[in-house]
Amino acid sequence: MQIQFSKYHGAGNDFILVDNRNQEYTLDQELIAKLCERRYGIGADGLMILENSESYDFNMRYYNSDGNEGSMCGNGGRCIVAFAKDLEIIANITEFTAVDGLHKAKINSSGINTYDISLNMNDVSNIKEEDNIFFLDTGSPHHIEFVDDISKVDVYNKGKQIRYSDKYKANNGTNVNFIEATASVLKIRTYERGVEDETHACGTGATAAAIAFALKNKEYNKEVILEALGGILRLNFDFNNNIFTNIVLSGPTKLVFKGKY
């Protein structure tokens, strides 16, 4: 079986995209992990399958680089919108389904193999805070920890320790984010569950970080700019009755290359 694919990244968070509307591909856990392997495969933080949807433009299925089906991926959601645009499935506005339900997205601008895309995320509530550490679910579970100097954090080892800690066993572990607040941006670094390593960006992590920052500083009505290793992401939201609504994750996407495997 030869698989046609495209590779995209959103702020350095990279993905393999497969169009399976004709149901011609059967991808199991072992094959997906092999495709995502950086030395012997294509290499990616995850893989997404675009499928037909009865009621919406398409359905998104997301797999972590270990080959297991994952929870919602924000940058993945933005990249699959770019993929759908390049496949001429959509124009500049879309509605699609994912593991956590319905999402809306908009293409704000485009260039050569690039788009700036805004993705609506699900409402967020039930946020836990203890000793300046936040835990919340933005489609995926996230531990948010504020630090003074993010450059000094051992993201891999500390992130792995927290991800597998007893505290988060009931959640099958968690993604771990370290945040340094500066005057202009939130610097963010993330250890991703399922990738089991630091990634260059994480959309649901950026969303969680922006919400935690808003709660911590009681600043709810301004855009939050986040600086990940791979680029800039933007977050907007409303806050009423202890619920974050109208959450929009925005940032760049890029088609890296197409191929067959």
User: Could you list the active site residues?
Assistant: 73, 202
Q: For the chain, what's the residue count?
A: 261
Q: What phi-psi label fits residue 241: left (phi over 0), alpha (psi between -120 and 50 degrees) or beta?
A: left
Other beta carbons less than 10 A from residue 84's beta carbon: 22
